[in-house]
């Protein structure tokens, strides 16, 4: 059973790709997987000024990203949460 039981490579890859396609500074995007109570928290850090782009109006963009990433997490057999943090 290779690999860490608490990892979500598909969800992480999808999240990274989507966020990088939205922001101005794709090189500043960082995604860190943190095990948390049987789930995996994917913490996203973006460059200065890009957090608003990722969150969107009334949080709609962030909510859509969370929905897609949770679906990708099911392919990994993992419950995934997404946290957006300002760096």
Domain boundaries along the sequence of the chain: 9-86
Report how many helices (DSSP H) and strands (DSSP E) the chain contains, helices first: 3, 3
Classify strands 39-46 and 30-36 as parallel, antiparallel or unpaired: antiparallel
Q: Which CATH number fits domain 9-86: 3.40.50.10490, 3.40.50.2300, 3.30.300.20, 3.30.565.60?
A: 3.30.300.20
> Each residue of 39-83: pLDDT tens digit?
999 999 999 999 999 999 999 999 999 999 999 999 999 999 999
Report the predicted TM-score, pTM, of the whole model to 2 decimal places: 0.89
Q: Band of the pLDDT at 6, cuts 50, 70, 90?
A: low
Measured CA to CA, the distance from residue 66 to residue 8 in angstroms comes to 14
- Determine whether 17 is exposed, middle or buried from the number of CB atoms within 10 Å of its CB (0-12, 13-18, 19+): exposed
């Amino acid at each position: 059973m290779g690999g860490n039981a608490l990892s979500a490579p598909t969800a992480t890859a999808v999240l990274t790709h989507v966020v990088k396609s939205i922001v101005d500074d794709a090189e500043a995007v960082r995604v860190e997987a943190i095990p948390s109570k049987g789930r995996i928290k994917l913490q996203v850090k973006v460059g200065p000024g890009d957090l608003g782009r990722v969150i969107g109006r009334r949080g709609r963009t962030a909510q859509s990203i969370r929905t897609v990433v949770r679906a990708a997490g099911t392919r990994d057999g993992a419950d995934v949460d997404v946290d957006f943090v300002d760096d």
